[in-house]
Each structure stands twice: as C-alpha cells, then as structure tokens.
Amino acid sequence: MASTDTAPAVVKDQVPDSASVEAGLDALETVAAPGQSLAQTLRQKALPPLLGVLLVLALWQGAYSLELTSSYKLPSPLDVWHAAEDLWTAGTLFDIIWTSVWRGLSGFVIAVVIGTPIGLLVAQVKPVRAAVGPILSGLQSLPSVAWVPAAVIWLGINNQMMYAVILLGAVPSIANGLVAGIDQVPPLFLRAGRTLGASGLSNARHVLLPGALPGYLAGLKQGWAFSWRSLMAAELVASSPDLGQGLGRYLENQREFSEMAGVLLGIILILFVGIAIELLVFAPIERRVLRNRGLLAAAR
C-alpha cells in the first residue's frame, strides 16, 4: 500500500506544469546570441562606419586638392573644421545644437502622445479606419515643408508654429506604424485576450501594444525622422529673434552670407544629431525588443 500511495506523488513531481512547458518552448525558440569581446564588438560595429567616414573625407579632400571646382563652392574639410572651431570659441556651438534637439525631442514626445491613440482607434474601429486611414496615408506622403506657410499664417512665427509643423509631419507616421503593427498581431493573441476578458484599454495595454511592438517601434523611428525633417524645414523658412538660432536657422544664415564652410558644417551637424538619436535612443530599444522575442541573432 505504501508504494501505491507514493507513486502518484512521484509521477506528479516529474510532470512539468504548463508554464514550465511554455517557458521551455520559448527558450528553444530563442536563439542565444554568442558572447563577444569588446575588441570584436568595436571591430564589427565601430570600424566599418569609421572607415566609411574616412573614405568620404578622403574623397572630399581629393576633390578639393584636384580643384574640381572653386574653393568657394567646395571648401576643404579643414575649412569646415575651422568653422566649427569658430562656433566653439564663440560659445554658441552647443546652444545651436540644443535649441534644435530640444524642439525636435519635445515635439516628437507630443506626437507620440497624440499619434498612439489615433493609431489604436484607426486600427480597431472599421468606420474610423475607412474614413481616416487614407487621410493619414496621404498626410504621411506630404512633404513637411508644405505645412510651413500655412502654419505661419495660422499661428505666426513662434514656437507654436514650429511644434505644429512637427506634429503634422510626425503624427501620421506614428499612427500608421501602430496600425501596421496591430494588423500583424497573430489572431491567436487576439482570441486569447478576448478569452481572458481583455477589452478596451486593457486589451490595448496587454494585447495590442505588446503584440504590435515591432511595427510600432518602426513607426516611432519614422516619426522621429519626420519630426527632425519637419523642424529643419520650419527653421529654414521661419526667422525671428524670439525663436533663437537652431541648426536650420544657422544653415540658412550661412547660405545668406555665402559661407559654404558654414553651410557644410550645418549639414554635418544635422546629420550627426539624427545619427546620434538613432544610436542612443532607438537602437537600444530595438535590440531589447528583438532580444526578448528571440529575433536578435536573426536580425543582426
């Protein structure tokens, strides 16, 4: 009798529960990323872009040395460096960069707050999708600079005009990215959410947004790109002492003074900020999302 009584307990201990089985399956589906040393990481990720930059500088210096065009139109890399040194000496370099970065980031955050509920509404309500979906797609393809004259007339030349142009450029991209992400959520997730009683905001929080995260993240990256481009367009066109001098205004001022070295410096700084935001903000988030889904090794 003793053996008969203890057998079910032993079998029960040996049979894993469903949570353990699911965890094991997830672990099997997850591709473990091999560990890399710091030297390997620098060689694989830092060296290629560094070589690309050096190649561009070499071609640029070569074109300048061969006098393919006048130095007025194509200054040397050293001339551009001296233009940056002048801004550093005057103490205005970081002020110019920060003016644009603050506007771009704060406008992007506002665009996320507005674009996310719009995307959820368009994705979940069919009449709203039929009515608003084509408008969002059309707005996404509209160049942001087209909004600047209208925004100036509506709001005047001030910061509100700048943020209006940013929102008109970024909100459609963020909303469309979320709609595309929700469309790719597996139907099994949606049925499981309904079975567990998720609806309304709880369904959006626990099912839709986690399931649509890769597409939503792609929409956020595109939204940031549109925010940055929209801001540069607005700063190039609109000028006022109250607005301060951002990167776009600095670029336009250098054009008006026919300072080609300053123009190239402005372009390089705009490009540098865009790449820095991508590497410091979006790339770590994207790696974490892909790693949690076991897609990091396949995506890299």
Instruction: Give the tens place of pLDDT for each residue, 107-139.
Output: 999 999 999 999 989 988 889 989 988 898 888
Contacts of residue 263, defined as CB under 8 A and 6 or more positions apart, other chains included, come to 251, 254, 255
- Rounded average pLDDT over 231-249: 87
Predicted confidence (pLDDT) at residue 1 exceeds the cutoff of 80: no
H or E element: which one contains 261? helix 260-277
Checking if the pLDDT of 51 tops 80, the result is: yes
Contact 238, 157 (CB under 8 A): yes
SS3 for 142? coil
> Under a CB-based contact definition with an 8 Å cutoff, are residues 145 and 169 in contact?
no
SS3 label, residue 97 = helix
Q: Mind listing the pLDDT tens digit for each residue in 27-41?
A: 555 555 556 677 777
pLDDT at 35: 61
Q: Is the pLDDT of residue 285 over 50?
A: yes
Q: Decide: 232 and 270 in contact? Cβ < 8 Å.
A: yes
Token digits of residue 224: 């940031």
The better pLDDT of the pair 202, 245 is held by: 245
Residue 21 clears pLDDT 80, i.e. is over it? no
On whether the CB atoms of residues 182 and 215 are closer than 8 A, the answer is yes
Of residues 169 and 292, which shows the higher confidence score?
A: 169
Confidence of residue 273 (pLDDT cuts 50, 70, 90): very high
Buried b (16+ CB within 10 A) or exposed e, 209-246: bebbbbbbbbbbbbbbbbbbbbbbbbbbbbeeeebbbb
Mean pLDDT of 157-175: 91
The tokens describing 283, both together, are 């790339």
At 16, the pLDDT band (50, 70, 90 cuts) reads very low
Read out DSSP for 63-131? HHHTTSS-TTTS--HHHHHHHHHHHHHHT-HHHHHHHHHHHHHHHHHHHHHHHHHHHHHHHH-HHHHHH
Q: Calculate the CA dihedral of residues 103, 85, 261, 224 and round it to 10 degrees.
A: -20
Per-residue pLDDT, 195: 79
Query: How far, in Å, CA of 260 to CA of 71, rounded?
Result: 9
Tell me what the pLDDT averaged over the chain comes to: 82
Q: Which two tokens stand for residue 129?
A: 């999708």
